């Protein structure tokens, strides 16, 4: 009877869309090793478990049966997250450029250059009041 780790390896491999041969290739082991793990005949070495987790996109806790959720992210969810990360990186870059522009304006002590995105939003010097 296959162990929980055997079942989890097979389930994670299938979910990752890999054949035993493809998984074996990525892990630099023989296909028979993968087959033996999935049949529960042998268990992978500790360092191989780490490689399995990285390759299959699951946690070691899941693979070892300590938790029931694989923590795997679907392809659609991964694409959505990658798009969000890209958008946040773009926003961060834009903010860094804006900060650099403001820093330059402040250090120069001049009014904002007309090409600056802040030229209309920076306060201009107020006229001085006459002493009474």
Helix (H, G, I), strand (E, B) or coil at 43: coil
pLDDT of residue 5: 92
Residues 20/31, Cβ–Cβ less than 8 Å: yes
Give all domains of the chain, ordered by start, each with its CATH number: 4-63 (1.10.260.40), 73-113 (no CATH)
Question: How many angstroms separate the CA atoms of 10 and 3, rounded?
Answer: 11
DSSP SS3 for 24 = helix
17-31 mean pLDDT = 95
Residue 114 has pLDDT above 80, yes or no: no
Tokens representing 40? 């529960």
Mean of the per-residue pLDDT values of the chain: 82
Contact 36, 44 (CB under 8 A): no
Of 6-15, 26-35, 76-85, the least confident: 76-85
Q: What is the pTM of this model?
A: 0.53
pLDDT for 79 equals: 78
């Amino acid at each position: 009877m296959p162990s929980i780790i055997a079942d989890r390896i097979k389930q994670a491999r299938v979910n990752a869309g890999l054949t035993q041969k493809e998984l074996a290739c990525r892990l630099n082991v023989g296909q028979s090793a993968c087959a033996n793990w999935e049949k529960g005949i042998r268990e992978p070495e500790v360092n191989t478990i780490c490689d399995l987790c990285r390759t299959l996109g699951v946690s070691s806790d899941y693979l070892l049966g300590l938790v029931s959720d694989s923590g795997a992210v679907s392809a659609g969810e991964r694409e959505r997250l990658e798009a969000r990360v890209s958008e946040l990186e773009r926003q961060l870059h834009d903010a860094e450029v804006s900060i650099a522009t403001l820093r330059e304006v402040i250090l120069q002590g001049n009014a904002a250059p007309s090409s600056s995105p802040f030229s209309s939003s920076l306060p201009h010097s107020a006229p001085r009041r006459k002493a009474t």
